[in-house]
Homo-oligomer: A and B are copies of this chain.
């Protein structure tokens, strides 16, 4: 074989993996295939990833970092009202979900797995820092009826993640994702609002 030194095999394997995972999910992703993509022997990836799970976890971590950057950008203006920020969060999350459906499913499944790495847990914490700050601020500000920020955060994440699942599943028929998001976020915002 020719290419002894490769530059950065680790990064190249992750690049191929990020593309391949959307084709057939984590189960359909093959280490041997990635090695072929990179032009190295099937045993070469072992040098950089202990096993397939380690490679998938690296993929999850970079996914959480990308998602985190998007959420930070979506919630960068703290002057906006709670409803608008809620909508921005939902849209950003769901956009990421539709563009990276297999990766997001893996991220969601792995981030709290029993055998999750500390690094992985930390990446998850970091990714959701902006929405957590949003909820804390709204609770302190009296924008929402419930003062238990954790409970509110749970209701929000459940709704937004569920919405993503439904949109990805093709269960919204002809409607545009943004319309569906707006409709459900309105229900959520009404439910959370102080006045009733």
Contact = CB atoms under 8 A, between A and B. Distances in A.
Contacts of A189: 191
Interface string A85-109: 0000000000000000000000011
Interface residues of A, number: 37
Number of copies: 2
Contact of A154 (B108, B158, B166, B186): B166
Given A161-B162, A189-B191, A183 B112 contact: no
**Main secondary structure on A side of the interface with B:** helix
A163 interface: yes
Contacts of A161: 162, 165-166
A169 B180 CA distance: 25
Interface string A111-123: 1100000000000
Q: Which 9 A-B pairs have the closest CB atoms?
A: A162-B162, A191-B191, A27-B27, A158-B162, A187-B191, A190-B191, A158-B163, A155-B184, A161-B162
